[in-house]
Each structure stands twice: as structure tokens, then as C-alpha cells.
Structure 1
Amino acid sequence: MKKLVIHGGRPLSGEVTIGGAKNSTVALIPAAILSEDPVHFDGMPDILDVYNLQLILESMNVSSTFEDGKLMIDPTQIVEADLPSTAIKSLRASYYFMGSLLGRFGRATVTFPGGDNIGPRPIDQHIKGFEALGATVSEENDTIHIVAENGLKGAHIFLDMVSVGATMNIILAAVHAQGVTTLENAAKEPEIIDLATFLNNMGANIRGAGTDTIRITGVEHLGSETTHTAIPDRIEAGTYLALAAAQGEGVLIKNVIPEHLEAFIAKMLEMGVELDVREDSIYVPKTGKLSPVNIKTAPYPSFATDLQQPITPLLGMIDGTSMIYETIYPERTRHVPELNKLGMNIDADTYGEIAVHKSGELHGTTVAAEEIRAGAALMIAGLMADGVTEVTNAEHVLRGYDRLVHKLTMLNADIQIEDDF
């Protein structure tokens, strides 16, 4: 177990460069096993999820090396094997091996994935897609068995609800299916475009990624020593935007695609943060007087659920009450009592409605990160607070933020990772 030890109250300034998108990375790595040749990735984030995915690859005799953002995966000697349950349960996105193994071998056996506890996140839409493609799905002792005895065949699939995970998993399974798969009510996130771009560069035939209708024409072979650069992480970028507005005295955030953050940027401008939005960077000046806002999370391109927690400490600086309506995961409020321990004044109900009132002075204390973005909110509040804040369960935060301590230290933060015995 790890903890973040933060000596707060220090003004932040300087530059920070955003890493590759976590939510792309966790799908790109499983997708690599569909290749018949080695795969090279650039710009990959140095996060715990990458190392856990490498352990899963190793269990299938897939070698990989990772250094300075460059990840090489060689699936040429891949074998079917039981995947390590500890690594599978450490991150929910391990479920992308369902789609990639099904596409590669026509069958997959995966322990039910773990990851953040932010309320129910069923995989029924994933299963619906696999079954439409011709697979049989069964569950036994917390393990999911997926078998396509007669091969996978293209199908028309309409998702009952917009799901990033189901959209990606169905794409992974369908790239080798016979015929054409049409996926409607698909998620539109940039990370889906990133995955489709990678697969198309290997020889897949995917059209419509980024719209609500995606068509996948199955192909027999994928490969050709592909090199792919992951898109920048819009959630990491949004986190640093919120931190810079809350505690910064001039911070330049580099390697950003502003179009991926339009809803978030719009809310920051609405509250009065004077952002200088450039082609691939955003400058955040020292913040003046801010105004309350109302935020409603919804699927992309609306305000991301992953950013409602990191923006909360900033909302606490505002005279008046800001409202957050969490429509994706109504139970995603576990950060609220922890932030209140630091001196914030937040009310939340069980239906995803969060009222953020003007905070008094924040004072360091010990708080627990129950998931990635909750941990990011606590980290920001700890950097704002007087005294020392200890964020336990810090491994959650480290799963999602590239070289976190290094980047914050370069901005003048006083923060360390320590073992939490």
C-alpha cells in the first residue's frame, strides 16, 4: 500500500506535459495481441495499469518492454493460457481481453474484472455484442467463458445504452469476424477513434469511429510492425487545469487537444477562469473572482464523469453554491466525506446530486482515495490546504496519472510517495 504525503499551501507555476490517454492505453494494449507482428507504441503513460497489463501479456507468452513512453509488444509467440486473476482484478479495463482473445482465438476465459468502486458498471452490453457475433457466454465461479464454436460472423448490434467499454470490446471481437458488423448507438469518445486508428493501421477495416454508427468489415490478418502514438489524456489535462486554476500562479499545460475538452473548458470559462487556449496547449493564469456553475455529467462530448471529482476543490473556492449532477455513476460520491475532512463544505445524496458550498480554509489531515478520480480530487485539495495531507490508497491515483510526483514537483509542489504500513 502507498500513500501520498503532501505539504500544501505552496503556489504552483511552470509547465506540465500531458501523457498518453489512460483510457486509450488500456484498450490499445489488449488490442496488440490481434497483431501477427510486433507492435510499437509511443507516448504511453507511465502508470500502474500499464505494468499490470504487461503481467497479463506475460502470462500468454507475449513479451513486452516499456521505457520512456515507448512500449513494444511482441505477440508472435502468443499461447492461450489462464490469465493472472490478481492483475485482472486490479483494473476493470482488463475486460478488453475478452474482445481481443475472442477475436484472436475464437474463445476467451477471463476472471471478472476489478478496478474502481464507483457503483454498478455491468457488462451486459459487452455480452450482448459477443452473442450477436455468434459467441456463447457463460459465467462460473466469478469467471466468464466466451466461445464462438462456429466462428464469429458480422451482425447488426444496437447498444441499449451508450457504453465506451462495450463499443471497444465489440470492435476488438469484430475485426476478424466474417462479413460486416454494424454497431449503432456506439460511444463517441476520442479514445475509441484512437483504438480504431491503431487497428486500421494494422489492416483492419473500421469506419465511423467517433460517430454513433460504426461499421467493421472483418479481415483475416492484422500486422505489419505498426507504430502508434497514443492521444493525450484529456482527463489528466482536465485535472491539471482544475489544479492550476485552484492553486496556480501561471501554469502552461502542454500536449493537449482542446477539442477533446470543450465541455470542461466551457465550464471553466463560465466560472471566470481566464484560459488562454492554444493549438496544443492551454495557459492558466492566476485565478481571480469566480462564479458558481451547474455541471451535469453525460457521455462524450458532454462533461466527463471522470472530471466531476477533480473540479470539486476548485468549486469550493467560489462564493455561493455550485451543483454537480452525476448522471453516469450516481454513486460516484465517495470523495465527498473525505474532502469534507479537509474543510470543504459539500452535500451529496444517493442520486448523484452534489452541492459544493463555499469552503473555509482547508487544513491537512489523513484521507483515503477509494478510486482514481476521487484520489485526484483529494490530491488537489491537499495541495491547496495548509499543513500536511496524507492520501492513503494512493495506488488508485497512480493507476491513472503519468509520473504524478515528478510532474507536480516540477510545478513547485511538495509531494512524495511513501509506503503505508
Structure 2
Amino acid sequence: MDKIVIEGGHRLEGKVRINGAKNAALPIMAACLLLHGPSRIKGIPNIVDIQTQIKILKNLGGDIRHIEDGSLGIIFRDGEHKEKITAPYDLVRKMRASVCVLGPLLSKRGNAKVSYPGGCVIGQRPIDLHLKGLKALGARIETDEGYVIASAGTLKGTRISLKGQYGTTVLGTCNVMTAAVLAEGTTIIEDAACEPEVQDLAYFLNKAGAKISGIGGSILTIEGVKELHGVDYEIIPDRIEAGTFMIAGAITKGEITLENVRNDHLVATIEKLREIGVEVTANGNTAVVKSNNTYRPANITTMPYPCLPTDMQAQFMALLCTISGKSVIAEKIFPDRFIHSAELRRMGADIRVDVPYATINGSPFLSGTHVMVSDLRAGAGLVLAGLVAKGTTHIHRIYHLDRGYEQIEKRLSQLGAHITRVSE
């Protein structure tokens, strides 16, 4: 098992290219189950979650290969492997997004057996809205020994609401959308998730021959079609990775140029950084983050897109811990998502958690120590704190980080960080 070791106190400077969005890539890869003919997907990052998804799709009969230009070639041959309908526990337990094969399997093969998903421990994330939507389309669903077992003859379009206790469901919207594109008639999804990753899946399906309208809004209209064809497609840049590197530049009082970004997907993150006092210049597909050496505390509330994403909460917490004054974070998506606060306190941060709020009394002085990663974004927050902590920070259980960030230590090192990966 590896760990990351950081010697803090070094200003970051230079350019970094942002990879494709893992949260767009995973459901798009699963949607290839629906397509007739080969597809080439460009921009897919080389991370553990993608490797896990490849294993799941191969287990379902997919022919998947890496292409020289960095693309991924995916084909499911019609008439073959129809009996392969199981996404097993030993793979699905590793990441929650693997549940997004449920809708395509049900739609294309009429049956699906998918283990309840695993992934990061960040609070309750039930899949009841997924199942509610699929049942509305006509699926028969039962659970047995930790598996969702779904079957259907012909799915039929209907009107569905996907509103839950904490708002919309991203993966649930993806599952219902992919099930509905081949259904008879018209499906209207109310309270659909509006996140860019959901939009990207819809654009991918439309390019493959689907008829989805209302993309980017909370009401999606899907007219069922008979068949979808393979496509060439490039996924969107990862807005969470971009935000993480923006805060890396800000927290070290550095200057970083980010390439291959969608600034329109980063509006809430950029606005909050500017409110704190960070200079952000967004131009085309680049963004420049620069310190003006005077930062202010801020209050943050995580909400569904287009508001500040919950996946940026830990990174902002790390930044606010280094800014003198009182800041408050309200976590409205996953109220229990504050496990990383205990590790930041080990580094000297003053944080009080009263769910769903965290109150931070910031100080410019953090100290390096041994900390453990509890989930993917918590790991990113601890890395950011380590970049400015006095002394040496040892970050353990970094397999969580590898799920979502490709070679983060090498890319930060190229910007001037003193960071290495070592074997424990």
C-alpha cells in the first residue's frame, strides 16, 4: 500500500491540463451497452474507477480496447452475451457509479442483476429513486442477497419525478434516461438532475440517435427510438479536478494556468474563490488562478448544480482553515460529509462540526502529521492542506485518491510541490 508524503510551504506555479470528467465517463461507458456498433470515447482519464468500470463492462461481454490517441474503444455485439446480466459485488462494491449499468442492461437485454453499490463513505445514498423511476417505466424489481434483480418485457414511456429528500439524483437520472431512450412512447423526467455530467450523457445519447430534449433543465423529454448506433465522442473536462487545482494554486499563494477547462461549469467555484480574494481569470478553455496575498473568510453552502458542488466541500474547507477569521460551511447534499474535519484538526485546524454545519476559525498555521483518507474528495482536501502545512505530512490510504485523480502527486510536483508517493 502506498502513501503520499508532502513537505509543505512551496508555492505552486505553472500549467496543468485537466482530464476528462470521471463522473461523465462512467455513465457514458455504461450507455455503450445500448449501442449498435463500435464507439470511440475520447478524454477518459486513467484512474481506478475507470479501470473498475472496464472490468464490469468486460464481464457483461464488452470488447474494450485502448486506442493510441488515448481514446477508449467500446463495442457490445448485438445478439451476443445476452445472458450476461450480472454486475457482481466484488466489482460494484468498489464504486457507487457502477450502478449506472442497471438502466442500460434493463433496456437492452431485458434483465439486470446488479449488486448494491459501494464507493466513498460520505453518508446515506440510497438508490430508491433509481428503482422508482425504472418501475414507472414498467420494470419488475426485487432484491435478493444484496442484489437488485430487474426484468422487463417492453419498457413504456411515462411521467416520472425523481425528487428526493436531498434534492435530485444524478445517477438516478442517468439510469432512468438510459432505460427510457429505447422505451415505447415518450418519457418525461421531472426533477431531473441538471449537472454537466448528466447533460454530457444526454448529448452522447443524442449523437447516437436518441431524442432527448430539455437538456440542462429539470424536465427532460425522451422520445423512445428503435435503435442507437456507435459514435465518436469526447467527454467534458472534469470540473471537480479543475476546482481542486484552482484551490491548490490559491492555498499556496501561487499562480497556475489550467488548460482544457469548461469555465461555464465552474461558475460557482470561481465566484466563491473571488469572494475569498483569489484572482481568477477565465478565458475560453483556460483559467488562471493567482494569489493577491489577502484572503477573507467566507460562508459556503453546497447545493445541486449550478450551485457549489458537494465534491468541492473538503477542498474549500482546507483553504478556509488557512484564512484568519470565522467561516461556516453548510453541507446540504450529504450532511454527514465531514469526516475529513477530524484529520484536519490533527494538523492544527480549528473546526467545530454541528451537522449539517462546520464552523472554521481559520489560522495561517497548519502542521504536518500523519493523516488518513476517508473518501476521494476528503483525500484531495488533505493533500491541499499538506501543501501549506509546516513540516511533513504523511497521507495514508491514498487508494481513495487514485479512484478520481490521475497521478495527482506527479502533476502537483510539476507545479513545484514537494510531494512524493512511497510504499508503506
TM-score after normalising by structure 1: 0.96
Alignment of 1:16-415 (within 5 A): 16-66=16-66, 69-76=70-77, 77-81=80-84, 82-148=86-152, 150-161=153-164, 162-223=168-229, 225-349=230-354, 351-415=355-419
SS of alignment partner, residue 279 of structure 2:
coil
SS of alignment partner, residue 268 of structure 1:
helix
CA deviation after TM superposition for structure 1 residue 388, in Å: 2.1
Please tell me whether the aligned partners of residues 130 and 176 of structure 2 are also in contact (alpha carbons under 8 angstroms).
yes
Q: Within 2, Cα distance between the matches of 1:160 and 1:300?
A: 14
1:194 is matched by which residue type in structure 2? D
Q: Within 2, Cα distance between the matches of 1:61 and 1:160?
A: 34
Please tell me whether the aligned partners of residues 13 and 248 of structure 1 are also in contact (alpha carbons under 8 angstroms).
no
Q: Within 1, Cα distance between the matches of 2:397 and 2:322?
A: 26
Q: Within 1, Cα distance between the matches of 2:407 and 2:227?
A: 36
TM-score after normalising by structure 2: 0.95
Bigger shift: 269-278 or 179-188? Answer: 269-278
Please tell me whether the aligned partners of residues 343 and 363 of structure 1 are also in contact (alpha carbons under 8 angstroms).
yes
CA deviation after TM superposition for structure 1 residue 78, in Å: 4.1
Please tell me whether the aligned partners of residues 175 and 204 of structure 1 are also in contact (alpha carbons under 8 angstroms).
yes
Q: Within 1, Cα distance between the matches of 2:300 and 2:149?
A: 40
Q: Within 2, Cα distance between the matches of 1:10 and 1:125?
A: 46
Q: Within 1, Cα distance between the matches of 2:70 and 2:331?
A: 33
CA deviation after TM superposition for structure 1 residue 55, in Å: 0.6
Aligned-CA RMSD value: 1.4
Q: What is the identity percentage for the equivalent residue pairs of Structure 1 and Structure 2?
A: 39
> Structure 2, unaligned stretches of length 5 or more?
none
**Aligned residue in 2 for 1:7:** 7
Please tell me whether the aligned partners of residues 343 and 360 of structure 1 are also in contact (alpha carbons under 8 angstroms).
no
Bigger shift: 284-293 or 74-83? Answer: 74-83
Structure 1 runs of 4+ off > 6 angstroms? none
SS of alignment partner, residue 310 of structure 1:
helix
Q: How many residues align?
A: 417
Q: Deviations over 1:141-188 (max 9, x none)?
A: 11110111x310001101232111111110011111111000011111
Q: Within 2, Cα distance between the matches of 1:227 and 1:78?
A: 24
CA deviation after TM superposition for structure 1 residue 357, in Å: 1.2
Q: Within 2, Cα distance between the matches of 1:323 and 1:287?
A: 23
SS of alignment partner, residue 138 of structure 1:
strand
2:194 is matched by which residue type in structure 1? K
> Structure 1, unaligned stretches of length 5 or more?
none
CA deviation after TM superposition for structure 1 residue 327, in Å: 0.6
2:195 is matched by which residue type in structure 1? E
